[in-house]
Amino acid sequence: MTIDTSTGLTRRALLGAFAATAVTAAPTFADAAGFLRGGGDIRRIRMYSGRTGERMDTIYWIEGDYVPEAVKEINHFMRDWRTDGVKSIDLRAIDIMSAAHNLMDATEPYMLLSGYRSPKTNAMLRSRSRGVAKNSLHVKGQAADLRLSTRTVSQMARAAAACKGGGVGKYSGSNFVHMDCGVVRTWGR
């Protein structure tokens, strides 16, 4: 760690102090793939859960390194709220969510509808809806269903698809977008 003797601040402290402006300034390009490959010095994710009432706003990547404590916080936040089961969320999925959020220039946190799903929860949901995949990437910790009240489903889906990092499903009738780090594909209306 380097210390600037003229100010007494460490480089990490400076990054923390200017995190909000760096996050806002980082994704000024049209294709989020550059951002996903390290185009910015930090990555941040903001979400809340209507199911648990929890909120999260964390910088999870700094200067090419994932922050273990922040990733652990994300894993817990995105847990299966029905079973309280926690799984490691694929970092690629988090990167897609973060990059899409930045591309939309949204200040509102995502509302997380579904992150990790235990096999038991997925089977229960599948029995109630034909829209739930048997081998859902939610069960692998590779997907999230998200909503923003300040953006349309189409706007969210376009931003996620611009990342070219996985699947993007539009669920206009339910007002949410599915983002995953699986095969690049799109579906829905």
Q: Give residue 171's pLDDT.
A: 95
On whether residue 3 sits in a domain, the answer given is: no
2 falls within a domain: no
Find the mean pLDDT for residues 148-154.
97
Tell me if 21 is assigned to some domain: yes
Q: Is the pLDDT of residue 185 over 50?
A: yes
Coil/strand/helix, residue 180: strand
102 domain residue, yes or no: yes
Q: How many domains does the chain have?
A: 1
Would 63 be classed as within a structural domain?
A: yes
Q: What's the CATH number where 22 sits?
A: 3.30.1380.10
Please write the tens of the pLDDT for every residue from 1-38.
443 444 444 444 434 444 433 343 333 334 444 445 44
Cβ-contact 92, 181 below 8 angstroms: yes
Instruction: Give a yes or no: residue 115 inside a domain.
Output: yes
Ranges of H-type helices in the chain: 11-17, 19-25, 33-34, 68-77, 91-103, 119-128, 153-162
DSSP letter at 43 equals: E
Beta bridge partners of 179: 144, 168
The pLDDT-based confidence of 119 (bands split at 50, 70, 90) is: very high
pLDDT exceeding 90 applies to what percent of the chain?
Answer: 69
